[in-house]
Each structure stands twice: as structure tokens, then as C-alpha cells.
Amino acid sequence: VTDAAPPSPSPPPGTLLATAEAPGKAILLGEHAVVYGHPALAGALGRGVRVTVRADPQGPRLHPGPLAAPVPIREGDGGALGTALARVLADVAPGLRQVALVAEGSLPLGSGLGSSAALSVACARALAQTAGAPLSPDRLYDVVRHAEEVFHGNPSGVDQATVVRGGVLLFRRASTEPGARPHVTPVTPARPLHLVVAMLRPHTGTREAVAALRERRDRHPRTVDGLMAELGALALDGARALESGCPGRLGELMDLSHGILAALGVSSDDLDHLVHLARRAGALGAKLTGAGVGGAIIALPGQAPDAAQRILDAMTTVGAVAFLARVGEPPTGSPG
Ligand code: PMV
């Protein structure tokens, strides 16, 4: 005999339990240098990921997209995606099993636009809603950082901070002191910021690009450290250019940054080609964004009404996927 309450009945399969969103991100200046403690300037994109939670007796599992087979949300046999989301689930709603997470998005994957951080943030928000336990932004950042370690090894945290907080921000990674938090300073652009984003192929991997640069730094510490410090200084200059509404200056800073990133070995023929085409089509500046070695470029259009379209046309004539994105979107979706 037991006087425990009977378990509450499960909702019928397919029942909608929660929906949440998260934006992608673009690093405007300071990628790679941010790994070494220098500042980076990044902004949330007006494109992202939406996640719906539905009752599913075969859960927990993820439906990554309309054409992809469901992935079990489990450490190990769920691959990197299943392992990362198993961490999110264990951190946010450990008791929740019979759920399917259905993801829809408008971000190219593996291109340095924060698709994995956006997926983790949207999943964490949706699971927190389902469990009725909202997450503070700091807690959400920690949950997503834990998941991102699966993809990135030891990420600086700039992707997660930008996707969680939205807007445009200057980010400096946390020191190695126990309990230290990153420094995040919001940046308010004097005028709306739109960038052309373009890519020809996914990048070869953030973890790989960061590791290759670390080896180069071991061989050439003085030069690489000097160039990293310059990239961080360009990020600070970029924040000031945005706040004072100087797009021409921001464009120049982007060009300088691309040159330094190429010197550091994280550009590639396709990225250099897109950057040159964008400049020839009138961009005020253009550079790779994110880890590099493939992935996306960003280009800053001038003020003319057809400025963005000219760059988009130049990108699509060489077969690139390209779109115009508003940068600095406020946080989307449910709180937390
Ligand atoms: O994952 P991506 O492509 O957004 O690159 C992240 C930016 C890096 O600075 C290269 C790595 C990091 O952890 O900050």
C-alpha cells in the first residue's frame, strides 16, 4: 500500500508545450583575439533559430530540420548535437524525457554565424518554459557555454554572450580566476546597422582554426601576439565608430582586420575572393567573420539606396549564399 499520488497523465503525443527563439550573431571585429583576452565587437543578427517543444513518448530527441532524421538527445550516440543538447537538458530540466524539440532556422550552419549557440539558447529557453523554471541571462549563458564546449573545445564565450543578450556588445572573456565572469559592455549604434552576409561553403571548424592559430603563435609568439593586440584595439575603435555613426571608419577597420586575420592564416581563397568582390561592388569594408577558413564574410554597404543590392548581386553571381541582415537585434523569444 502506498499513499503516493498517481503520476500525472502524459499529454497526448504532438501536444505543443513551448516555443522559444534565439538570434544568430556576427563578430564585427576581434575574432580569434578574443580567445587570448582581447576585446571583440559582436552583434545579434535579425535571423535565428526557433525551437518548438512537443510531447513525444520516444523522446528526448531533436528534429534538426524538415529534411533531417531525428537525433536522440543523449551523450555519445546522439553525435555532437545530441551530446550538446543532452547537456542543456540535464542543466535546465533533468526530469523531462518525453519531449521532441523541433528546430527551424534561417541561418546557414557551420559558417560562423552562431547557429550552434542560437540552437542551444532557443532549446534552453524552450525547455525552461516547459519545465516552468525560467533562467536568468547569467544562468542561460553558463548552460549554453557548457553545451558549446562540445563543438568548440574552450570557447571564449563571445557567441553565447551575444546570442543570449542580443544587441551589439563589446565582449572580453572571463579571467581564469574561479567564478570570474566575462565583461560585457552594450554598444548603441548611432544609426541602424545592416550588413551583407555571404558564404560559399561551411568553415572547417572553430576548434581546428583556433588550434592552428595557437600552433602558429607557438612558432611566432611576438608577431602573433602583436597582431592579436591590434585586432583587439580595432574592436575598441569599431565600437567608437558605431557609437559616433561613422560607417566609413567602421568599414576601414573591417578591411584592416581582414588583412590581419589573413596574415594570421585564418582566411582562405574563397573568403578573400568574396571580400574583394564586395569591395569592388562598393562596400565600405569587408572581412571574414567568426573562425574563418571557409564560412561567412560580412560587408558594410554605403548609404546609396542600391548599395546593399549591388553587393548582394556580386555575391550571387559567384554562387554564394548571401543576405542582408540587420545587426543589433534586441533579444527575441521568451525571457531568460
Ligand atoms: O564559432 P565561430 O565561427 O563563431 O568563431 C568563434 C570566434 C572565435 O574567436 C574564433 C573563437 C572563440 O571562441 O571566440
Quick check: CB of 213 below 6 Å from ligand 1?
Answer: no
Give the separation between CA 48 and CA 330, rounded to whole angstroms: 12
Residue in 28, 38, 159 to alter for ligand 1 test, most ligand atoms within 8 A of Cβ: 159
Other C-beta atoms closer than 10 Å to the C-beta of 255 total 16
**Ligand 1 centroid to residue 155 C-alpha, Å:** 7
pLDDT at residue 66 above 80? no
Q: Is 156 in the pocket of ligand 1 (CB under 6 A)?
A: yes
Asked if residue 282 lies in contact with residue 308, where contact means CB atoms within 8 angstroms, the answer is no
For residue 206 and ligand 1, the question of a CB distance below 6 A is answered with yes
Beta bridge partner(s), residue 44: 25
Catalytic residues: 159
Question: What is the Cβ-side half-sphere exposure of residue 103, based on CA atoms within 13 angstroms?
Answer: 32
Mean pLDDT, rounded, for 119-127: 97
Q: How far is the CA of 31 from the centre of ligand 1 (A)?
A: 6
Q: Is the CB of 50 under 6 A from ligand 1?
A: no
- Average pLDDT on 164-172 reads 97
Measured distance CA(254)–CA(265) in Å, rounded: 17
* Closest atom of ligand 1 to CA, residue 156: 13
Q: 224-265 pLDDT, tens per residue? A: 999 999 999 999 999 999 999 999 999 999 999 999 999 999
User: How many angstroms separate the CA atoms of 22 and 31, rounded?
Assistant: 21
Distance 17 CA to ligand 1 centre (A): 33
> Could you give the CA distance from residue 322 to residue 198 in angstroms, rounded to a whole number?
4
What would the pLDDT profile of 136-154 be if each residue is shown by its tens digit? 999 999 999 999 998 888 8
Q: Are strands 193-199 and 99-105 parallel, antiparallel or unpaired?
A: unpaired
Q: Which residues lie below 8 Å from residue 81, measured CB to CB, with a gap of 6+?
A: 62, 64, 71, 119
Q: Which of 171-185, 281-295, 321-335 has the lowest mean pLDDT?
A: 321-335
Q: What distances in angstroms separate CA 322 from CA 67, 106, 201, 265, 319, one per listed residue? A: 22, 12, 12, 24, 9
Q: Which residue in this structure is represented by grid cell 572571463?
A: 174
Bridge partners of residue 62, in order along the sequence: 71, 101
CB neighbour list of residue 16: distance below 8 Å, 6 or more residues apart = 52, 53, 54
**Strand 99-105 relative to strand 168-172, pairing:** unpaired
Q: For the residues 329-335, what does the mean pLDDT come to?
A: 52
34 CB under 6 A from ligand 1?
yes
Q: Tell whether ligand 1 has an atom less than 6 A from the beta carbon of residue 28.
A: no
The rounded Å distance from CA 291 to ligand 1 centre is 5
Confidence of residue 102 (pLDDT cuts 50, 70, 90): very high
